[in-house]
Each structure stands twice: as structure tokens, then as C-alpha cells.
Amino acid sequence: MMTLLETINLSRSFGGLRAVDEVNFTLEKGEVRAVIGPNGAGKTTFVSLVSGRLAPTSGRVKFEGEDVTALPAFRRVQRGIAYTFQITSIYGTLTAAENVALAAHRPGSRAGLDALARVGLADRAGQIAGTLAYGHQRLLEVAMGLALHPKLLILDEPTQGLSDAEIENFISLVREVAREATVLLIEHNMPVVMALAHRITVLERGRILAEGSPAEIHATAAVQAAYLGSG
């Protein structure tokens, strides 16, 4: 296995709050990794540090062996890191197809139709993005990430607002994407996590509480107590 992403003593503070606290994390190429934890555990802050949307207070981020800590988000995108936000970040006045084309830096509304088809939105390519249902806006955001042909696709709560049928389609989509890209998934829906993740990292109060396979994580007493609500 080849290490794609590594964080070394990665930390981020907001005033007196240590949102991410000296996290040492390694992601292998081709992996589907889920990051779980209770609200406020530091999950979104962590992936924001990885993607370059936030600068760390201390520590380093390495991607494909290169130190990218000082690189802004758009430079990391150029190197193959795509991040879909927890809160939708679409261009509401543009069509779905135009959103994907803009994300892919390929002008023209026909660009990116393949990405829309992959998430099940081909029939809504001409619809104004701001008029899409919330769940479809989340899928549009995933399509915008896919259009970049990333090496690492970071998905932050992607199934939020999706119907049961859409969640099933999303699981199939991630399995397909994982054939060509590494996936880092933040997700509260535990059946989705258990269905997709090769390994799971559990965060609590900005630190890694546990890591392992889905079966190992499910059987860990500390995780059950902190997150799964039993034990």
C-alpha cells in the first residue's frame, strides 16, 4: 500500500478551544476511510485542514509525500484533493450543468454531464441549482467534486437530506468512485459507514480515540460509550 495522505501532529485552535489536537493520521491510496465522532469532535475542522480551507495552528499535512501545509485550497485541488462541504456550496443562480462545468474549470454547460449522470442528476442538468431539493443539491456538490477527477475525494455528510433510495444509490456510487480515487468520508449514518469503509477513524474532542475495521470499531467499548450510545 502507498500512503496518499499523512498528517503529523496536526492541530487547530479557536481561541481557547483545541478543535484538532495533535492528530497523526495516515490514509492509504485506494482506501475508503470514514471519520466518525460525536458533534464537536473536530471532524469538519480536520478535513478543512487537510483540504486547505483552514490553516493549522501547528503540525503538517503531506500529500503523495509532499508537504502541502503552506498551500492554499486551490493549489491542493490542483494536486488532486477535492472537498465537498458539509453545507452546500453551489452557485444557486446557475444550472446544475454550469455548476459542474465551473468546478471542473471547463466553460460550457455541456461539460461535466458525465459527473451529473453518475450521481443521478442528468435529467436535471438544465435546472437552476438553487431550485433543486436539498438532497439533490448535495448530490450536485458530489458531482462537482467528481468532475475534478480527484485523487482524494473528501465527502462531508454527503447523505444528509437524501432519501433511502438515494442513499442506496450513493453507496453504489462511492464504491464505483473508489475504483479510481481514495475516499475520505465524514458521515453520521452508521449503516452507510459500515457498508462503505475499509477502516474507520473515531475522533473525540479533537483527538483520535480509535482506528480499525468496521467490526473492530463496533466492538470497541470506548467507541460504544463515546459515540454508539451503548456500553
Q: Could you list the mean pLDDT of each consecutive 10-residue stretch along the chain, which spans 231 residues?
A: 94 93 96 92 94 95 96 92 73 91 68 83 94 88 87 90 88 88 92 94 92 88 62 35
Q: Which grid coordinates belong to 94?
A: 446557475
Q: Are 163 and 134 in contact (CB under 8 A)?
A: no
Spatial CA neighbour of 154 closest among 38, 15, 21, 61: 61
Domain extents for the chain?
Answer: 3-80+153-228, 90-149
pLDDT of residue 109: 47
∠ CA 32-228-192, nearest 5°, is 35
Count of residues for the chain?
Answer: 231
pLDDT of residue 108: 54
Q: How many CB atoms lie within 10 A of CB 147?
A: 24
pTM of the model: 0.86
pLDDT of residue 227: 61
Structural domain 3-80+153-228, CATH architecture = 3-Layer(aba) Sandwich (3.40)
pLDDT of residue 86: 47
Q: Which long-range contacts (CB under 8 A, 24 or more apart) does 24-28 make?
A: 24/208, 25/201, 25/208, 27/3, 27/152, 27/182, 27/184, 28/1, 28/2, 28/3, 28/4, 28/182
Q: Which is it for strands 207-212 and 58-63: parallel, antiparallel or unpaired?
A: unpaired
Starting at the earlier edge strand, list the strands of the sheet with 58-63. 17-28, 3-14, 58-63, 66-67
Amino acid sitting at position 111: A
Q: Which grid coordinates belong to 27?
A: 490514509
Q: Are 25 and 182 in contact (CB under 8 A)?
A: no
